[in-house]
């Protein structure tokens, strides 16, 4: 039962990241003074999702935990230093709205710690920090998967063939089975690539993350495609996935960021400065490792690129 609940939470996290919507509001720019309000109230209000592991969730004892929560704690420390208020109260607020960005818009939270895609439609209603996570579709395979298959899926040429260009004599993707959760962006992406490659492979829709993982463990599928953050958390925490690996590549890449009130450049600057300091110092790496496992070279380089110079 606990395993099924955790898979449900992983699916919910992917859904929040990809599909959270915002109700229509006035189109004029909102004027916000978040730092002034925080100084006056003596409280910084940080929003989080109770069941969106590995980004934010209720941990033991009901305390918030997760990658986004850890980043927000660093931002809270920077806010205390900036306001010169070491006794500033930091309050984590559970956000369960169907439209979670409304909690930012109406001032119930100053910053939403659950990372999500900063789409243009969302930016019409809220503002976003610099990216905090590079998401998108990931690939889960057995640790003993054929080396040529792993190499090809990671984007490296095989037998001098260009990446993602099928040919009759290139058999890396011939007669392969790929599992993917039905109705997801990963399924749409995989269907498009299968047509583009023109290879003889089978795409098997599954109903859940748990079913996809089971197919790879049992050898029924060569690979399972799903939200990469969910796959990383799964490999790190689920005993059944001990012999599985998430490839060092994201397809259909998406940058996730933290939402704050629109029209408040001072608070946004503070948030981006705090995040940049965490990236630049390298302290992001052990933090990332707690929730996703050791950072790959690609991930480490990505954080250095995201850090904005002073």
Read off the CATH number of the domain in which 280 is found. 3.40.190.10
Residue 78 and residue 88 in one domain = yes
Residue 129 and residue 173 in one domain = no
User: What span, in angstroms and rounded, lies between the C-alpha atoms of 11 and 246?
Assistant: 17
Residue 27 and residue 58 in one domain = yes
Residue 130 and residue 26 in one domain = yes
Query: pLDDT, tens digit, for every residue of 73-94?
Result: 999 999 999 999 999 999 999 9
Residue 263 and residue 129 in one domain = yes
From 252, 269, 295, the end of a domain falls on 252
| Residues sharing a CB contact under 8 Å with residue 206, sequence separation 6 or more, in sequence order | 179, 180, 181, 182, 212, 215, 224
Residue 97 and residue 87 in one domain = yes
Residue 31 and residue 18 in one domain = yes
Comparing C-alpha atoms, which of 175, 155, 166, 186 is closest to residue 249?
155
Residue 93 and residue 140 in one domain = no
Residue 259 and residue 245 in one domain = no
| Residues sharing a CB contact under 8 Å with residue 180, sequence separation 6 or more, in sequence order | 186, 187, 190, 203, 204, 205, 206, 212, 224, 225, 226
Residue 95 and residue 15 in one domain = yes
Query: pLDDT, tens digit, for every residue of 12-69?
Result: 454 445 444 444 443 334 467 999 999 999 999 999 999 888 899 988 888 999 999 9
Quick one: what percent of the chain has pLDDT higher than 90? 45
- 112: tokens are 């939403």
Could you give the number of structural domains in the chain? 2
Residue 105 and residue 235 in one domain = no
Query: pLDDT, tens digit, for every residue of 253-283?
Result: 788 999 999 999 999 999 999 999 999 999 9
Residue 124 and residue 31 in one domain = yes
Please report the pLDDT score of residue 172 as a whole number: 63
The domain of 240 spans 136-252
The pLDDT of residue 1 is above 50: no
From 227, 252, 277, the end of a domain falls on 252
Please report the pLDDT score of residue 157 as a whole number: 56
Asked which of 22-31, 153-162, 217-226, 241-250 is least confident by mean pLDDT, the reply is 22-31
C-alpha to C-alpha distances, 300 to 1, 288, 297, nearest whole angstrom: 36, 10, 5
Query: pLDDT, tens digit, for every residue of 148-206?
Result: 778 777 776 555 554 444 444 346 666 788 899 887 778 887 777 766 655 567 889 99
């Amino acid at each position: 039962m606990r395993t099924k609940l955790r898979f449900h939470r992983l699916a919910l996290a992917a859904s929040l990241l990809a599909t959270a919507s915002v109700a229509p509001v006035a189109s004029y720019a909102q004027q916000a003074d978040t730092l002034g309000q925080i100084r006056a109230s003596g409280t910084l209000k940080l929003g989080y999702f109770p069941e969106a592991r590995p980004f934010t969730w209720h941990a033991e004892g009901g305390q918030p935990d997760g990658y986004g929560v850890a980043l927000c704690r660093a931002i809270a420390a920077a806010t205390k230093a900036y306001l010169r208020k070491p006794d500033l109260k930091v309050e984590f607020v559970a956000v369960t709205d169907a439209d979670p960005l409304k909690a930012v818009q109406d001032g119930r939270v100053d910053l939403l710690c659950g990372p999500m895609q900063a789409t243009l439609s969302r930016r019409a209603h809220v503002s976003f920090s610099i990216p905090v996570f590079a998401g998108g579709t990931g690939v889960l395979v057995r640790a003993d998967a054929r080396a040529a298959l792993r190499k090809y899926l990671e984007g490296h040429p095989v037998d001098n063939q260009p990446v993602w260009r099928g040919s009759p004599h290139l058999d890396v993707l011939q007669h392969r089975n790929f599992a993917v959760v039905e109705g997801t962006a990963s399924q749409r992406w995989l269907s498009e690539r299968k047509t583009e490659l023109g290879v003889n492979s089978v795409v098997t829709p599954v109903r859940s993350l748990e079913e996809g993982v089971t197919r790879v463990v049992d050898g029924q599928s060569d690979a399972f495609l799903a939200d990469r953050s969910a796959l990383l958390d799964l490999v790190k925490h689920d005993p059944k996935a001990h012999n599985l690996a998430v490839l060092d590549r994201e397809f259909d890449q998406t940058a996730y960021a933290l939402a704050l009130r629109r029209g408040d450049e001072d608070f946004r600057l503070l948030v981006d400065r705090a995040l940049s300091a965490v990236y630049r110092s390298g302290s992001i790496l052990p933090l990332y490792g707690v929730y996703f496992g050791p950072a790959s070279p690609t991930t480490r380089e990505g954080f250095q690129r995201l850090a904005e110079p002073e």
